[in-house]
């Protein structure tokens, strides 16, 4: 059937895209995990782990494995959390700096309270004892 000039060939428009990844992540986050003998939703566990990394620099996974975030990973997690909680910042934001005297922000990372988990693995790699 020929189209009438000016009439859409698809009057209902394009069908909405399937948000497959969102649906998969939603289902995965709804499952429960066991942590220290307690059952907790995956979403709640993830939120707690992210906040623990931001506040202490490390967290323990459900498997019991400890994960330590370096300075770059920590900063990326902080950015991610701020974007999720507050949304992106307004485009016209003035943090108080002047054009000839811009505001600078420095992130200082103190690793004095964190253990180096890689040195234990490296020293035990040979499997033998030192004499």
* C-beta separation of 74 from 57 below 8 A: yes
- Please give the model's pTM, rounded to 2 decimal places: 0.50
Q: Which residue has the tokens 């967290």?
A: 59
Q: Residue 121 domain-assigned?
A: no
For residue 116, the model assigns a pLDDT of 61
User: Is a pLDDT exceeding 70 seen at residue 7?
Assistant: yes
129: left (phi over 0), alpha (psi -120 to 50) or beta: beta
Q: What is the domain count for the chain? A: 1
Pick the more confident residue, 34 or 5: 34
Report residue 91 as tokens: 């485009």
Note whether residue 109 is domain-resident.
Answer: yes
Q: Please report whether residue 14 resides in a domain.
A: no
99 within domain boundaries: yes
- Taking alpha carbons only, the member of 22, 23, 54, 49 closest to residue 35 is 49
119 part of a folded domain: no
Residue 16 lies in a domain: no
| Three-state SS at 15 | coil
pLDDT at 127: 46
CA pair distance 33, 21, nearest whole angstrom: 21
Model pLDDT for residues 108-123, shown as the tens digit of each residue: 877 776 666 555 544 4
Tell the burial category of 69 from Cβ atoms under 10 Å away from its Cβ (0-12, 13-18, 19+).
Answer: buried
List the domain range (segments joined by +) for residue 86. Answer: 23-113
Q: pLDDT tens across 66-109, in order?
A: 999 999 999 999 988 888 888 776 776 666 666 666 777 788 87
pLDDT in tens, 21-64: 888 888 888 999 888 888 999 999 999 999 999 999 999 988 88
CB 12 within 8 Å of CB 3: no
Q: Is residue 44 assigned to a domain?
A: yes
45 inside domain: yes
Residue-level pLDDT at 4: 76
């Amino acid at each position: 059937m020929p189209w009438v000039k000016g009439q859409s060939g698809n009057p209902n428009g394009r069908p909405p895209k399937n948000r497959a990844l969102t649906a998969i992540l939603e289902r995965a986050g709804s499952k429960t995990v066991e942590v220290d003998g307690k059952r907790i939703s995956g979403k709640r566990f993830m939120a707690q782990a992210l906040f623990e990394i931001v506040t202490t620099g490390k967290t323990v996974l459900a498997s019991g494995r400890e994960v330590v975030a370096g300075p770059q990973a920590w900063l990326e997690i902080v950015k991610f959390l701020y974007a999720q909680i507050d949304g992106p910042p307004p485009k016209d934001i003035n943090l108080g700096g002047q054009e000839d005297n811009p505001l600078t922000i420095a992130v200082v990372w103190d690793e004095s309270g964190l253990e180096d988990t890689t040195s234990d693995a490296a020293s035990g790699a040979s499997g033998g004892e030192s004499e």
